[in-house]
Amino acid sequence: MADVQIARALPLAGMVHGGAEVTVSAAPAAYRISLRAGGPAVAALSKALGVTLPKKPGTSASAGSRHALWLGPDEWFVFDETADPAADCAKSKAAHSAVDISHRNTAILVSGPAAADVINAGCPRELSLEAFPVGACSRTVMGKIEIVLYRTGAEDFRVECWRSFSDYAFAFLADAARGL
Amino acid sequence: MAREAMRGHKGWGQQWGSPEPRGEYDVIIIGAGGHGLATAYYLAKEHGVTNVAVLEKGWLGGGNTGRNTTIIRSNYLYDESAGLYDHAVKLWENLSQDLNYNVMYSPRGVMMLAHNVHDVQVFKRHIHANRLNGVDNEWLTPEQAKEYCPPLNISQTARYPVMGAALQRRGGTARHDAVAWGYARAASDRGVHIIQNCEVTGIRRGGNGQVTGVETSRGFIGAKKIGVVAAGNTSVVMQMADVRMPLESFPLQALVSEPVKPCFPCVVMSNTVHAYISQSDKGELVIGAGTDQYTSYSQTGGLHIIQHTLDAICEMFPMFTRMRMLRSWGGIVDVTPDRSPIIARTPVSGLYVNCGWGTGGFKATPGSGHVFAHTIANDNPHKINAGYTIERFNSGRLIDEAAAAAVAH
Amino acid sequence: MTTAGTNRIAGKGRLTPANTVRFTFDGKSYTGLEGDTLAAALIANDVHLVGRSFKYHRPRGILSAGPEEPSALVGVRRDAARQTPNIRATVQEIHDGLDAVSQNRWPSLAFDIGAVNDIGSPLFSAGFYYKTFMWPKVAWKHVYEPVIRNAAGLGTAPEEPDPDHYAGRYAHCDVLVIGGGAAGLSAALAAAESGAQVILCDEKPSFGGALWFEEEARLDGMDGYEWAQQTTDRLAVMDNVRVLSRTTAFGYYAQNFVGLVERVTDHLAAPEADMPRERLWQVRAKRVIIAAGAIERHMVFANNDRPGIMLAAAARTYLNHHGVAVGRKVGVYTANDSAYAAAIDLKKAGSDIPAIVDIRDNPDSVVVEEAKALGIRVLTGHAVTGAGGKLRVASMSVEPKNGGSAEVIPVDALLMSAGWTPSVHMFSQSRGKVAWDEESQRFLPGTYAQDCVSVGACNGTDGLAETVAEALDAGERAAKEARAKAKKSGVKIKTEGGGKWAGGMIGAGPGAGAGKVVKAFVDYQNDVTAKDIRLAVQEGMHSIEHVKRFTTNGMATDQGKLSNLHGLAIAAEALDRPIPKVGLTTFRPPYTPTTFGAIVNHARGKLFDPMRCTPMHASEEAAGAVFEDVGQWKRAWYYPRPGEDMHAAVNRECRTVREVAGMFDATTLGKIEVIGPDAAKFLDLLYTNPFMKLGVGKLRYGIMCREDGFIYDDGVVGRIAEDRFHVTTTTGGAPRVMNHMEDYLQTEFPDLKVWLTSTSEQWAVIAVQGPKSREIIAPFVEGIDLSSEAFPHMSMAEGKVCGVPARVFRMSFTGEAGFEINVPADYGRMVWDTLHEHGKPMGMCLYGTETMHVLRAEKGYIIVGQDTDGTVTPHDAGLSWAVGKKKTDFVGIRGLMRPDIVAKGRRQLVGLKVKDGRTVLEEGAQIVADPKQAVPMTMIGWVSSSYWSENCGRPIAMALVEDGFERMGDTLYVPMPDRVIEVEVTNTVFFDEEGGRLHG
Amino acid sequence: MLLIHCPYCEEERPELEFRHAGEAHIARPADIASISDEDFAQYFFYRDNPKGLTFERWRHIHGCARFFNAVRDTVSDKFVTTYKTGEPKPDLAEAANENKPQAKKGRGSK
């Protein structure tokens, strides 16, 4: 084969928008799958993945670098910055659908005391710690796009969106961070 | 007028009466909106049917007639549509004189913007079809569009740059209240009873199935024929005669800005960016918003629908960002599966229906009333509304303007 | 003390005399104090004339001290692009450099030519438009309408794009309190101390509401206004409370969703660049407490609009808050007690009060005695029947209300109060039904529709003690309802003093009653007089909605805050019917005019709508691509080289693809991964084509219909494994096809074991097409035998391209041998650049969507949405082969059987050959059989696709023509404005009819 | 903007996350290919469109992505209940009583 330098180009590579109240930055590359499975397969898949797939709506589970987010009654979003969860799913015989979406999505990290306020500029969900505690996750909307929102800390969120919407998402968050 | 002014306007009589209902009418029209009043007027004027009552549960012209953005145009694609709407425009052109009431028909031009190649293809298709149908509609370059409407942003850096526009010069606006009042006065002058605060609660039918009259909040009123022109409430009224309709009712919102000096000379519509705007004689920017997604009879809608509309307005006319919304309101629009109206007989003898105008009924008011009056008087449609049957949904012969325009690729 | 205006009273008010502010009005410079509204500062400088009315251009002054102001509207200008019309001088705070101008006058405010309308006003009665201007017919458009338009319209719209920034925020709370007077503050405090999450907003710069002017009110032993500030401070530091001043609740929507607008910078001389001008708050509250207060009404009498005539409580605000006396010789005309307080305050501040004219015969109240004790003449049972002066009130005519001789009393200001109208706006917007309270002659909250409660003056509650008690209770109760763990607040507030809101009159006063031809204004801004309302009734307008529309009463920028009740009362009197029978007032959003920019907030410019770009966008841009918008996507349209126009570029690209090869970015196509044991069965139901027998590693073109049988979408489906398919959709169709599939899967075929995942953006798709395509990609492909034998047309395989995992499809939308390479999106640009670099020296070009369209048209391939329009079936499109004949069910099967779908006369897709061999038909052009017929012509079809085909050396076109399949070889006509074009009906394949090139 | 209880996510979510999907409980005829034109039109085009309580479908498209059913009053736009796809039509009388507290009367309605 001809000699090619393999280079993965993240859509927002290196982008940071910082301020005292909030920092908006591009997340590093990750492996991601959309995992679909019926009830009976969940235990087997949890075992294969090494993380217990949560059954409670809107919750997540983590093990090491691997995070599994409940998105629907038979749907989980699993991401991992170091190892490919698709490979682990492939080992399970249980009926399921695991689709690689590592490149479909990209992620933005929003951190700081005003993180929730900035996301609430376009996301109509209640983001108090009471309503959306650390570890909470959900598909929702922000401005004119769909996102997956995942709270990783009291003042830290991960915003996942489809690749071609990431430019909009980043610009939106940066605009929302102005003049808080 | 000047004479009345000097007499302190004491001589102006009532524009329409407030008669007590008779025991029976030849025709009862349910709904005193523009279409219903126009139907009554043309029944009296063109068909000599004057023993007519128009029943209205609220106040005349208080439904969609009083709640729309008054856009008038006829540059529709299909023969059936062009025929119907252009018939209406021809009536609009002489309506003030016909009714002796200034309905302020203002042919200031309706410009529809093309923002992508698909829009251009669709508009050209309309323009060609309109030309061969004898309906005016012309293509403008972006520069010509800007000349016609100076506030228009034709910058190539716009999110969806304007690639051109279709302009119908005979299109424009009219004063909605004046249309209802003008028809009401003219119909009343010809003997039609307009009975407000009279809600129809039932449709009575005889042994042969033929309608015999209506139950109302003011008692039973007999009728040989009944025309239902109840817009958003059509399904409810038709249910009274056990007729299920291919209709759904949605909230449609609109808004006006505070009045400002003339700054917007025509009507601009953009289906792609979702903006519909003109300026009223009073100086208000009149802006049509979209429908909410769910069926409702609430006459209210969500703020996000208004937001979506104003997004588009501010994108296309960035100087209006500092303008302010003065008033917003909602109507109930009844929508058919092919977004074209039904103006037809029904499976029930003596029962006629005129409905399904969706978001665009105002422009058709005179034409709709005219052909519906014909349909009721002759128990047969006018050739202009022959295709607007209910049965088309069984046979598949739809009149789908929206499908012809809106399919993206 | 003259630095901040001659009417500034030393020792009065709460502003700091040292904090002066310079501003201009109509070009003249004035000094005011920090904390002044423009209105306060103008009155301080003895300027009462500030505007002209809408219709008659009558001189108008300042009527109020709040957002209900109908008259004092000005334009405010920060710079050329920051001009705002119709700003209420009673709301706008002054700042250094504020530049305000009067409106609706020419050439100047004091001398306005438009005022001739006032003299001609008998002609311009209510509804005058409708009765005239009809003859001659053309005159409306060319003469009357332009004149009317120019006369109307108040201020001037800005002409430049707004450079300011706006922000938005969604917020949630247990309790939202609307209004921050004594009631709102008490309610908020009780709710907050109970542990609820509270948002409190008030439209003014500081909290207090009526405490701004009610000097005698004391709470917890403090001056009322001071208490309000301390309470605000106490709330502001609580973690569970958000306090928003300068924030108007403008819209109350379903399920306790309330829109607030916060004005952030308009009061600042030099706002920081990043600060938004306004911020929209969209609040979802578990409970809402409406504490919106009440609005004082004016008295309806002749010439009640002269500058210097104002509401009594407004005068108290100017005096007690701003330290400004509205006049030195101040008349008072009232129908209730509250105006007495104004007279007393002004008297104590040194103004002369020539008389208090009280329309009541025997007002029995301590304030009457107090006024008399101060030596003020009180004329009970009297009425003001007229005002003298033009640009400023100079006198009032006073008569016994039941007739008698008039006395003209000189004044330089005239205060009036007809009583207080509870602000039920938000309650009404919440879809609550107001009810008429006969006893107090006012509309009050009747039946509630949402989880809210009204407290204080807006609920008809009189007295400070009662208001505070009601509000504390409401606050505590709301907290308990919203939050299970709410505790007892323990808040107690002691009150003394405070005014009453009850009493007064509605409708026209003596001298403005029936039969009187005077200008007694009901709606100031729209110049609606009592007489106009009677005329409307006389003309048969019996519903208040008709009266309102006929006269425009209540439709001005204040939306009837002062005028509605008076108008209703006058109409009711003329109709001789009780008020509730004439109509109930309902209110719609917004409460006060709301800036478009705030509503739109972030969704401007780049954030108006997402612009979607493919991973290869930057490379395409660098290669000179011109882009087109396809939905939200930017797609490379064509790649012009220097000197080439679109036509030349497309011709070159078309030629190059067929002669050598071309590379095309197909990333935007939708992709869905369909997985599960029933995947084939599911696709078999969703597409017209059969899918059960599609082999692994094979591709099939599929058509999707809705139940009506019309083409909904199309695409290529590849079978990756027995239970795994890779489905593609059109670019625009991606989301709706996914929704359509999910709908059937979840609700109609829930027993099928299938999962759908959108992979549209997982894959970058690079199409390499043309005779040299294999040669170009081969060096970079691993694990796939690309030979035609091993990998024939309509096959797919997984392998590696440029070292990254890839799905390679052997397929073609051009009619050439070609490949579509799917690679994970983040690698897309790398693969694209690599292939481009390699292919370019071999003669390969990049091509865009336009060339793609031409090449596919040369082959007769349809584009859904261009050659179909939602009314075209697969049969109409000549795709009957793609409808499974043996299938017993698929979505659309029944729709395709309907009588008009199978009848003759369907429009069918055919090719057109232009007889002259040169003319490119216009897309959308209509087709007729007989070009000589008269208009309206019978059209039998239309041109859906049309191009110059460089490869065919002639124009090609496709068209939907009535019974087109039976017209092969027929001559038809395309009538254009200047000529008729002759065409021949052909099949739709114009190039390589045998299809040999596909397999090369 | 409505607030809609998603029976799968088990909480109320803002309307922006949802897509309305038309009248509920209109099953696709199993023998669709053989039904009459009238029956097909009734299935595909005709709707009850009631003023009052309506059975309707929603999709939590920007949430859990599930379709579900709802009972809503089309006059007040208030939801009576929501339930999962496939569950039977709820007993309206019962549901309405449970969810419809007496309308609160204000001072004005004596």
Residue A1 resides in a domain: no
Domain locations along chain B: 18-70+176-246+338-406, 105-170+249-335
Pairing of strands B351-355, B219-228: parallel
CB contact B201 to D (< 8 Å): no
Dist. CA A176–CA C280, nearest whole Å? 12
Structure-token pair, residue B129: 């079809």
Helices (H), C767-827: 773-777
> Which chain A residues have a beta carbon less than 8 Å from that of C758?
104
Among residues B384, B268, B381, B348, the alpha carbon closest in space to that of B316 is found at B268
Structure-token pair, residue C234: 């106490």
Query: Residue D6, CB half-sphere, CA atoms under 13 Å: how many?
Result: 29
> Which chain C residues have a beta carbon less than 8 Å from that of B96?
134, 137, 140
Dist. CA C772–CA C781, nearest whole Å? 15
Structure-token pair, residue C84: 């705002």
For residue D17, the chain A residue with the least C-alpha distance is A140
Helices (H), B354-397: 365-378, 392-395
Query: What are the beta bridge partners of residue C75?
Result: C101
CB contact B296 to D (< 8 Å): yes
CB contact B340 to D (< 8 Å): no
Query: Within 10 Å of residue C961's Cβ, how many Cβ atoms?
Result: 26
| B321–C604 C-beta distance less than 8 A | yes
Provide CATH 3.30.70.1400 ranges for chain C: 670-759
Average pLDDT, integer, range C872-900: 97
Dist. CA B102–CA B85, nearest whole Å? 21
Structure-token pair, residue D56: 């309707």
Of residues B124, B279, B397, nearest to C923 (C-beta): B124
| Residue of A77, A128, A141 best to disrupt the D interface, most CBs of D under 10 A | A141
| C757–A97 C-beta distance less than 8 A | yes
Residue A37 resides in a domain: yes
> Which chain D residues have a beta carbon less than 8 Å from that of C580?
none
Average pLDDT, integer, range C793-820: 97
Q: What is the dihedral of CA C357, C363, C364, C367, to 10 degrees?
A: -30
CB C759 within 8 A of CB C825: no
| C935–B396 C-beta distance less than 8 A | no
Query: Within 10 Å of residue C97's Cβ, how many Cβ atoms?
Result: 12
| A126–C609 C-beta distance less than 8 A | no
Dist. CA C744–CA C760, nearest whole Å? 20
Q: By three-state DSSP, how is residue B22 classified?
A: coil
pLDDT in tens, chain B (409 residues): 455 554 545 556 788 888 999 999 999 999 999 999 999 999 999 999 999 999 999 999 999 999 999 999 999 999 999 999 999 999 999 999 999 999 999 999 999 999 999 999 999 999 999 999 999 999 999 999 999 999 999 999 899 999 999 999 999 999 999 999 999 999 999 999 999 999 999 999 999 999 999 999 999 999 999 999 999 999 999 999 999 999 999 999 999 999 999 999 999 999 898 889 999 999 999 999 999 999 999 999 999 999 999 999 999 999 999 999 999 999 999 999 999 999 999 999 999 999 999 998 999 999 999 999 999 999 999 999 999 999 999 999 999 887 766 443 3
CB contact D105 to C (< 8 Å): yes
pLDDT band at D102 (very low <50, low <70, confident <90, very high): low
CATH number for B18-70+176-246+338-406 (one of 2.50.20.10, 3.30.565.10, 3.30.479.20, 3.50.50.60): it is 3.50.50.60
Q: One-letter amino acid identity for C648?
A: A
Residue A11 resides in a domain: no
At the top level of CATH, the class of D3-27+43-99 is alpha beta
CB burial of C819-831 (b: ≥16 within 10 Å; e: otherwise) equals bbbbbbbbbbbbb
Query: Which subunits count as partners of chain B given 3+ CB pairs below 8 Å?
Result: C, D
**At C234, which helix (H) or strand (E)?**
helix C224-236
B363-388 pLDDT, tens digit each = 999 999 999 999 999 999 999 999 99
**Does one domain contain both A24 and A107?**
yes
Dist. CA C925–CA C941, nearest whole Å? 9
- Residues of chain B with pLDDT > 90: what percent? 91
CB burial of B334-367 (b: ≥16 within 10 Å; e: otherwise) equals bbbbbbbbbbbbbebebbbbbbbbbbbbbbbbbb
pLDDT band at A1 (very low <50, low <70, confident <90, very high): low
Residue spans of beta strands (DSSP E) within C592-653: 594-595, 626-630, 633-638
| C460–D107 C-beta distance less than 8 A | yes
Pairing of strands A16-18, A23-26: antiparallel
CB contact B303 to D (< 8 Å): yes
| B115–C540 C-beta distance less than 8 A | no
Among residues C891, C949, C885, C881, the alpha carbon closest in space to that of C919 is found at C949
Superfamily name with CATH number, domain C609-668+762-860: Probable tRNA modification gtpase trme; domain 1 (3.30.1360.120)
| B261–C154 C-beta distance less than 8 A | yes
pLDDT of residue C124: 66
CB B363 within 8 A of CB B82: no
Residue spans of beta strands (DSSP E) within chain A: 16-18, 23-26, 31-37, 60-63, 66-72, 75-80, 96-100, 105-111, 137-142, 145-153, 156-162
Provide CATH 3.50.50.60 ranges for chain C: 166-294+422-496, 301-417
* CA dist C122 → C7, C119, C539 (Å): 38, 8, 16
**What is residue C747's DSSP assignment?**
I
Residue spans of beta strands (DSSP E) within B104-199: 110-114, 138-140, 164-168, 172-173, 193-195
Of residues C255, C284, C444, nearest to D108 (C-beta): C444
CB contact B29 to D (< 8 Å): no
The residue out of A46, A79, A100 marking a domain boundary is: A100
Phi, psi of C274 (to 5 degrees): -80, -10
| B96–C942 C-beta distance less than 8 A | no
Q: By three-state DSSP, how is residue A82 classified?
A: coil
Q: How many CB contacts within 8 angstroms connect chain B with chain D?
A: 71
**At C728, which helix (H) or strand (E)?**
strand C724-729
Tell me the nearest-neighbour CA distance from B226 into chain C, angstroms.
Answer: 26
Dist. CA B345–CA B325, nearest whole Å? 42
CB contact B141 to D (< 8 Å): no
CATH of the domain at A93: 3.30.70.1520
C823-851 pLDDT, tens digit each = 999 999 999 999 999 999 999 999 999 99
Of residues D1, D38, D54, nearest to B295 (C-beta): D54
| D47–B246 C-beta distance less than 8 A | yes
The answer to whether the Cα torsion of C342, C347, C353, C357 is positive or negative is positive
Per CATH, domain C301-417 is 3.90.550.10: no
Residue A6 has pLDDT above 90, yes or no: no
Fold of B105-170+249-335: D-Amino Acid Oxidase; Chain A, domain 2 (3.30.9)
Structure-token pair, residue C213: 């002017």
List the domain range (segments joined by +) for residue A69.
Answer: 31-100
Residue spans of beta strands (DSSP E) within B206-323: 211-216, 219-228, 248-257, 267-270, 275-279, 285-291
Of residues D65, D77, D105, nearest to C447 (C-beta): D105
Dist. CA A106–CA C761, nearest whole Å? 10
Among residues C124, C105, C126, the alpha carbon closest in space to that of C114 is found at C105
| C448–D105 C-beta distance less than 8 A | yes
At the top level of CATH, the class of C670-759 is alpha beta
CB C187 within 8 A of CB C475: yes
**What is residue B7's DSSP assignment?**
T
Superfamily name with CATH number, domain C898-999: Aminomethyltransferase beta-barrel domains (2.40.30.110)
Fold of C506-577: Arc Repressor Mutant, subunit A (1.10.10)
For residue D8, the chain A residue with the least C-alpha distance is A73
Tell me the nearest-neighbour CA distance from C64 into chain A, angstroms.
Answer: 33
Dist. CA C782–CA C766, nearest whole Å? 16
| D37–B294 C-beta distance less than 8 A | no
C636-668 pLDDT, tens digit each = 999 999 999 999 999 999 999 999 999 999 999
CB C20 within 8 A of CB C484: no
**At C711, which helix (H) or strand (E)?**
strand C711-721
Residue A6 resides in a domain: no
Dist. CA B258–CA C86, nearest whole Å? 8
Of residues A4, A11, A74, nearest to C803 (C-beta): A4
> Which chain D residues have a beta carbon less than 8 Å from that of C453?
104
C560-573 pLDDT, tens digit each = 999 999 999 999 99
Cα radius of gyration (chain C): 38
**Does one domain contain both A23 and A37?**
no
Pairing of strands B267-270, B110-114: parallel
Of residues D1, D28, D109, nearest to C447 (C-beta): D109
Residue C340 has pLDDT above 50, yes or no: yes
Structure-token pair, residue A166: 């990431």
Query: Residue C691, CB half-sphere, CA atoms under 13 Å: how many?
Result: 33
| D86–C446 C-beta distance less than 8 A | no
Domain locations along chain D: 3-27+43-99
Structure-token pair, residue C379: 């004329």
Provide CATH 3.10.20.440 ranges for chain C: 1-162
B316-348 pLDDT, tens digit each = 999 999 999 999 999 999 999 999 999 999 999
pLDDT of residue B409: 36
Q: Is residue B10 classed exposed, middle or buried when 0-12, 13-18 and 19+ CB atoms within 10 A define those classes?
A: exposed
CB contact D38 to C (< 8 Å): no
Fold of C166-294+422-496: FAD/NAD(P)-binding domain (3.50.50)
CATH of the domain at A160: 3.30.1360.120
Helices (H), A72-176: 85-90, 115-119, 166-176
Query: Which subunits count as partners of chain A given 3+ CB pairs below 8 Å?
Result: C, D
Residue spans of beta strands (DSSP E) within chain D: 3-6, 11-14, 19-23, 53-59, 67-73, 79-84
Among residues C512, C526, C567, C511, the alpha carbon closest in space to that of C544 is found at C567
For residue A73, the chain D residue with the least C-alpha distance is D8
CB C935 within 8 A of CB C944: no
